Amino acid sequence: MTQANPQKRPPGLLDILEQKVEDLADGVLDALGWGSPKPAAGRRAPGGAGPGWTRDFRHDNGQLSLHLHLKRSGDGQLSGHYAVQPRGKARGQNWPLAGRVLGDGSFTLQGTENGARFAGSLRGGAPQVSEFRNRKFTLENFTFTRLTAAAPRAKPAARPAPAATPTPSGPTTGGGAAAGPRTGALPDLPALREPGFLARLRQVAAAVNTSPEIVLAFLNLESNLDPTSNKDRKTQYKGLGQIGRDALADINAHIASHKLPLRALGSTQELTGLSATQQLAYVEIHLKLHMHGVDKKARAAGRHTSLEEVYMGHLGGSARYAQKDVWVSEGSAAYRQNPMDADQDGHNTPAEAADTVRGRFTANFKANLDERSRHLKPTRRKFDGKTQLFYVYDAGHDNGLPLFSLDPAERSPIPAPVLPKPPAVEIREEEEPAGEPDALDRLMKLGEDTPQYTSQQIRVARELIKLQPQSQRAELYLMLQEKTPHHSQRNNESLGRAVDGDRPGGRIGNVMCNLTSAAMVLEQLGIENPNPEDFPQFEDYLEDLRRKYVDARYQELLNSGLSPQKARQGSYARFHRTTMEGWGKVLGLMGASYATIPPRRDRAFWESTVRKHLEEGEAVMFSINGHIVRLQGMNEQGLIVDDPYGQSVLLKNTGMAAGDKDGKYRHDRTKSGNNTVWSWASVAEHDMLWIAAVKKK
Question: What integer pLDDT is reported at residue 32 of this predicted model?
Answer: 40
Mean pLDDT lowest among 53-67, 194-208, 426-440, 566-580: 426-440
Q: Is 475 helix (H, G, I), strand (E, B) or coil?
A: helix
Contacts of 252 (CB under 8 A, 6+ apart): 264, 265
Question: Is 4 a member of any domain?
Answer: no
User: What are residue 129's DSSP bridge partners?
Assistant: 120, 142
Q: What single DSSP character describes residue 500?
A: G
Greater pLDDT, 120 or 165:
120
Q: How confident is the model at residue 49 (pLDDT cuts 50, 70, 90)?
A: low
Instruction: Give, in degrees to the nearest 5, the angle at Cα 129 between 127 and 135.
Output: 120
Question: What integer pLDDT is reported at residue 475 of this predicted model?
Answer: 93
Q: How confident is the model at residue 148 (pLDDT cuts 50, 70, 90)?
A: low
Question: Is 476 a member of any domain?
Answer: yes
For 272-289, what is the mean pLDDT?
Answer: 94
Question: What integer pLDDT is reported at residue 265 of this predicted model?
Answer: 94
User: What mean pLDDT, rounded, does the chain reach?
Assistant: 82
Q: How confident is the model at residue 662 (pLDDT cuts 50, 70, 90)?
A: confident
Burial class (CB in 10 A: 0-12, 13-18, 19+), 132: buried
Do 219 and 278 belong to one domain?
yes
Q: What is the pTM of this model?
A: 0.43
- State the total domains in the chain: 4
- One-letter amino acid at 564 equals P
Q: Is 550 helix (H, G, I), strand (E, B) or coil?
A: helix
Taking a C-beta distance cutoff of 8 angstroms, is the pair 481, 614 a contact? Answer: yes
CA-wise closest residue to 194 among 265, 260, 314, 280: 280
Q: Is 139 helix (H, G, I), strand (E, B) or coil?
A: strand
Strands 376-383 and 690-696: unpaired
Do 509 and 611 belong to one domain?
yes
Domain boundary residue, one of 333, 359, 393: 393
For the segment 505-530, what is each residue's pLDDT rounded down to a tens digit? Answer: 888 988 999 999 999 999 999 999 99
Count other C-beta atoms under 10 Å from residue 674's C-beta: 19
Distance between CA atoms of 243 and 314, rounded to whole angstroms?
9
Do 347 and 439 belong to one domain?
no
Burial class (CB in 10 A: 0-12, 13-18, 19+), 518: buried
Question: Is 178 a member of any domain?
Answer: no
Per-position b or e across 399-437, b if 16+ CB within 10 A of its CB: bebbebbbbbeeeeeeeeeeeeeeeeeeeeeeeeeeebb
- Is pLDDT of 387 > 90? no
Distance between CA atoms of 77 and 99, rounded to whole angstroms?
6
Question: Is 521 a member of any domain?
Answer: yes
Q: What is the CATH number of the domain that holds 216?
A: 1.10.530
With a pLDDT cut of 90, the percent of the chain lying above it is 47
For the segment 211-263, what is each residue's pLDDT rounded down to a tens digit? Answer: 999 999 999 999 999 999 999 998 999 999 999 998 898 899 889 888 888 89
Q: Measure Cα distances from 567 to 199, 338, 496, 588 in Å.
A: 80, 65, 20, 22
Q: What is the CATH number of the domain that holds 62?
A: 2.40.128
Distance between CA atoms of 32 and 144, rounded to whole angstroms?
42
Strands 53-60 and 128-133: unpaired
Do 547 and 463 belong to one domain?
no
Domain boundary residue, one of 340, 373, 393: 393
Question: What integer pLDDT is reported at residue 312 of this predicted model?
Answer: 92
Alpha carbons within 13 A on the beta-carbon side of 402: 15
Do 226 and 356 belong to one domain?
yes
Domain that holds residue 440: 435-483
Do 526 and 637 belong to one domain?
yes
Do 450 and 331 belong to one domain?
no
Q: Is 344 helix (H, G, I), strand (E, B) or coil?
A: coil
Do 504 and 641 belong to one domain?
yes
For the segment 158-215, what is each residue's pLDDT rounded down to a tens digit? Answer: 333 333 333 333 333 233 333 333 445 688 999 999 888 998 999 999 999 999 999 9
Do 535 and 621 belong to one domain?
yes
Cα end-to-end distance, the chain, whole Å: 66
Question: Is 421 a member of any domain?
Answer: no
Do 506 and 465 belong to one domain?
no
For the four alpha carbons of 344, 347, 348 and 350, in that order, the dihedral sign comes to negative
Torsion of CA 249, 253, 255, 256, to 10 degrees: 140
Question: What integer pLDDT is reported at residue 169 of this predicted model?
Answer: 31
For the segment 519-563, what is each residue's pLDDT rounded down to a tens digit? Answer: 999 999 999 999 887 888 899 999 999 999 999 999 999 999 999
624 φ, ψ to 5°?
-110, 40
Do 494 and 620 belong to one domain?
yes
Among left, alpha and beta (phi > 0; psi -120 to 50; other), residue 550 is: alpha
Domain boundary residue, one of 96, 117, 147: 147
Question: What integer pLDDT is reported at residue 391 of this predicted model?
Answer: 93
Question: Is 27 a member of any domain?
Answer: no
For the segment 293-342, what is each residue's pLDDT rounded down to a tens digit? Answer: 889 888 888 889 999 999 999 998 888 888 887 888 888 778 888 899 88
Give the distance between the most distant pair of CA atoms in the chain. 105
Distance between CA atoms of 521 and 635, rounded to whole angstroms?
20
For the segment 1-44, what is each residue's pLDDT rounded down to a tens digit? Answer: 333 333 334 444 444 444 444 455 444 444 443 343 343 333 33
Q: What is the CATH number of the domain that holds 690?
A: 3.90.70.10
Distance between CA atoms of 129 and 122, rounded to whole angstroms?
9
CA-wise closest residue to 93 among 363, 298, 382: 298
Per-position b or e across 479-504, b if 16+ CB within 10 A of its CB: bbbbbbbbbbbeebebeebeebebee
Question: Is 229 a member of any domain?
Answer: yes
79 φ, ψ to 5°?
-150, 165
User: What are residue 629's DSSP bridge partners?
Assistant: 622
Do 470 and 505 belong to one domain?
no
Question: Is 405 a member of any domain?
Answer: no
